[in-house]
Amino acid sequence: MLHNIDKILEEAGRFKADTKEELEQFRIHYLGKKGILSELFRSFKDVPADQKREVGQKINELKQFISTKIEQLLADISEDGGDDDARDLTLPGPPVQAGARHPISIVRNEIISIFGRLGYTISEGPEIEDDWHVFSSLNFPPEHPARDMQDTFFIEKDPDILLRTHTSSVQVRVMENESLPIRTISPGRVFRNEAISARAHCIFHQVEGLYIDENVSFADLKQTLLYFAREMFGKHVEIRLRPSFFPFTEPSAEMDISCQICGGKGCNVCKYTGWLEILGCGMVDPNVLEFNEIDSKKYTGFAFGMGVERVAMLKYQVKDLRLYFENDIRFLEQFKAAY
Ligand code: DAH
């Protein structure tokens, strides 16, 4: 019997009515003289004594549920049914919930704005790229192990087509299409065949920078990046460049900023080094200029590339990358005041 009542409850719960007539049918079906509830009350006398209490409670619950449901449905129908006199049109509408910008957008916009103040334009390129723009023109030789640095999503049918693993590909597109001097940043999504964890994701965002002109030097690169770091993280930030390797820059470096949590003294955020890695950079390799028909005797340039999530992690101290992709409103809401 209990099981039976549960089934009736479930069925009644699913009922919807568009008209008062339908609702009346529903009422008669359950609460009418020959309705389901009368029948249940009638068979109540056959319930064994030790179950009477429980079954009785259950039947009453069902009756209560159906009565409330009828009242609610009736209210809904009356509202839709154009009982206009009951509405006060002068009442203010329900408040609209204001959205918030995503932290990755906030950080990307800030990077764009900082470089905008230095005269950098914005350029974009396709996310589905070819080998030439992602690797070959950036001086990755065909069998060079540097290609292994980036786990790539290839298209099965055509290994020449792939999802770009870095926004450095946009450098090449700009060199192909624009005249010198070039001073541009390229924000965008990139893709790598990585298992998703707190520290890695298969989709993330980068901002690439490129400056090519006569007499561009490493000192210009350093000063530009110092300006960026101080605008982004605060005016007391120090930077340090460590030698590194990228096929498309020579010399290449990785840049660290002084840890803002401990002021460089050492803490668990900077793993007691006082420094946090933030981007890769270097002087554009003459080969890359020549591949793109730029005279490397006359022109020099620098390039840099940073991960937007990485900058956001350092800025907001949120170290699980997955949070930036889950779109949990409880996480996103916390950035409402951030822009
Ligand atoms: N493309 C590199 C990466 O995805 C980042 C990078 C390093 C970009 C050095 C540059 C650069 O332009 O000069 O890891």
Q: Distance, CA 117 to ligand 1 centroid (Å)?
A: 22
* Confidence at 179, pLDDT banded by 50, 70, 90: very high
Q: Ligand 1 in contact with 281 (CB < 6 A)? A: yes
* 179 and 257 together in one domain: yes
Q: Is the CB of 173 under 6 A from ligand 1?
A: no
Does residue 132 carry a pLDDT above 90? Answer: yes
Task: Read off the pLDDT band of 270 (50, 70, 90).
Answer: confident
For residues 44 and 187, state if they share a domain: no
Last residue of a domain, one of 49, 81, 113: 81
> Please, what's the b/e burial string for 36-67 (b: 16 or more CB within 10 A of its CB; e: otherwise)?
bbeebeeeeeebeeeeeeebeebbeebbeebe
Q: Are residues 27 and 65 in the same domain?
A: yes
280 lines ligand 1 (CB under 6 A): yes
Does the pLDDT value for residue 229 go beyond 60? yes
Residue 65 resides in a domain: yes
pLDDT band of 87, cuts 50, 70, 90: confident
pLDDT tens digits, residue range 31-41?
A: 998 999 999 98
Count of the separate structural domains present in the chain: 2
Which residue's CA is minimally distant from atom 13 of ligand 1?
281
pLDDT at 157: 85
Q: What is the CATH number of the domain that holds 295?
A: 3.30.930.10
pLDDT band (50, 70, 90) for residue 130: very high
Please indicate, yes or no, whether residues 219 and 122 belong to a single structural domain of this protein: yes
323 and 222 inside one domain: yes
CA of 281 to the centre of ligand 1 (A): 6
Is residue 88 a part of any domain in this protein? no
Residue 30 within any structural domain of the chain: yes
Residue 208 lies in a domain: yes
Q: How far is CA 179 from CA 176, 254, 295, in A?
A: 8, 28, 12
> And the tokens for 283?
């002087």
What pairs with residue 189 in β-bridges?
A: 205
User: How far does the centroid of ligand 1 lie from the alpha carbon of residue 263, in Å?
Assistant: 27
243 Cα to the center of ligand 1, angstroms: 13
Do 115 and 77 fall within a single domain?
no
Residues 6+ apart with CB under 8 A from 287: 139
Judgement on whether residues 322 and 221 belong to the same structural domain of the protein? yes
Q: What domain range includes position 12?
A: 2-81
Nearest alpha carbon, ligand 1 atom 3: 166
- Structure token pair of residue 183: 């001073």
Is the same domain home to 74 and 194?
no
Q: What's the gap in Å between 107 CA and the centre of ligand 1?
A: 18
